[in-house]
Every structure is written in C-alpha cells, then in structure tokens.
Structure 1
Amino acid sequence: MAEVTILAQDEAVRLDAEKLEALYRQLGDVSAEDIVCRAMEELAVKLAQVERHYREGRAGEMRKTARMIVAIAEQIGMQMLARVAGDAVRCLDHRDEIALAAVLARLIRTGERSLTEVWELQDLSI
C-alpha cells in the first residue's frame, strides 16, 4: 500500500514594519489606521476574487485582480504578498497553468498570514 505524505505549508510572511511606521508618522495614527484597515479589507476581497476568477477560468480578470493585490500590498508593507501576487501575474502571462495553481495556493496562504500579521502589529500599537 502506498503511503501519502502531507507537506506542511509553513513559511514566514515578511512585512516591512518600517513602511508601516513611516505611514503612521506621515499621516498620524488615525488616518494611517484608517488607510491600513481599508487596505486590509480590500486585500481580503481581492484574495477571494482572484480565487473565484481562477475557478471560473477568467484569466484576464485574475491578472487584473492580482496586479491590484500587488499595489495594495506594497502600499502597506506586505512585501511577500506583493511578490507572490506578482508571481501569479507572471504565471498568467506565460500561460503556465501548473505553476499558476501552485502560486495561487501560496498567494491565498500568504495573504491570510499577512493580514493576520498586520492585525497583530496594530495590536502592538505600531
């Protein structure tokens, strides 16, 4: 009988805390928190959309949404998330469906972990 091995998908997300701190210094606590919260809400929506576009085979919409994720993630210091979303765009551009499936799974994982990490940073009062 064949044995199935389940691989643990555990990688640390990278946040640019300095970028967040600069945002807070530049805009003040209230405005920066508002921007970060709105960006996080938008990222959560975009992550769900990119997954839905993938399931529906809508590559053009998926590419557009992934590029939006890159822009939003970079704005609030989610460098790893921005990089993985960029990888998804490259997979789409090269029409590499196998790599796209793997990158999409990583994008969703990284997105969820990045959102959690930012919430935890906010709880520590940046």
Structure 2
Amino acid sequence: MEEPARFDPECLEDLCRRIGEVRAEAEVALALHRISEGLPKLLGLLDQDEQTFLSEVDQVARDAKLIGMSTLSRVAHSVLDNFSRADPVALSATLARLERVGERSIHAVWDLEDLSG
C-alpha cells in the first residue's frame, strides 16, 4: 500500500522560533530516534505489556506532532482509539499502517535535512 507521509513544516518553524534552532535540531533528532526505535517494538509490547505499549504509542504521537509528522501523529492516535475500543481487527490494521507511515515519515524528514544541508 502506498500512502504519502504528511509533513507540516510550520511545526518545525514554530519549534525553532520557540526554543531556537540549535535546541530544535536536538529535539528533532531525539524525536526521530525515539520514533525509529519505538515503532519496531510495538507489536511485541502489545503481546507482553499493554501499559508500556500504550505509553510507547503515546510517545510516538507526541514526538510526531512536535516535529510536524501530522499523519504519523494522527495514525498513532487511531491506534490508541482502537485499543481502547478493544477492536483487535482495527488495532491490527492501524498498527500496520502506523509502521508504514512511520517509515515514510522518518525518510521524509531525513530527506528534508539532506536538502537543507
């Protein structure tokens, strides 16, 4: 399935204005690291520790929103909603979507960094 990653550059601009460019770069790097480390663990966490699973998905949603990954943040919230509704089919589908969108979103931000130098 192909789904474009939606990125909101205004979020990054706002972050830079609020905390400065150097700190914003560090925040983006940290958020990307947490997202790229957290996404692959989610399925295993769901089977082992639901509370940690929920915490990790929430962290992905917050990090994604902070750095302008609007689609990824929205999909992470959908995962949380489907978990709370105890809908295993929808949860499985949104988890798969979260993984796809997450990978595309991470690559989109890295591509932007490559373009900006």
Q: What TM-score, normalized by structure 2, do the two folds share?
A: 0.90
Aligned equivalents of 2:94, 2:25: Cα separation in 1: 30
* Equivalent of residue 16 in structure 1, options 8, 29, 40: 8
Higher helix proportion, which one? 2
Counterpart secondary structure, 1:23:
helix
Aligned to 2:107: 116
- Contact kept, 8 Å, 1:91 with 1:100, in 2: the verdict is yes
5+ unaligned residues in a row in structure 1: which ranges?
1-8
Name segments (4+ residues, structure 1) moved above 6 Å.
Answer: none
Identity of matched residues, % = 36
* Equivalent of residue 79 in structure 1, options 53, 56, 70: 70
Between structure 1 and structure 2, the one with the greater Rg is 1
Count of aligned positions: 117
RMSD: 1.6
5+ unaligned residues in a row in structure 2: which ranges?
none
- Is the aligned partner of 1:62 residue 2:49? no
Q: What TM-score, normalized by structure 1, do the two folds share?
A: 0.84
- 1:61 positional shift: 2.3
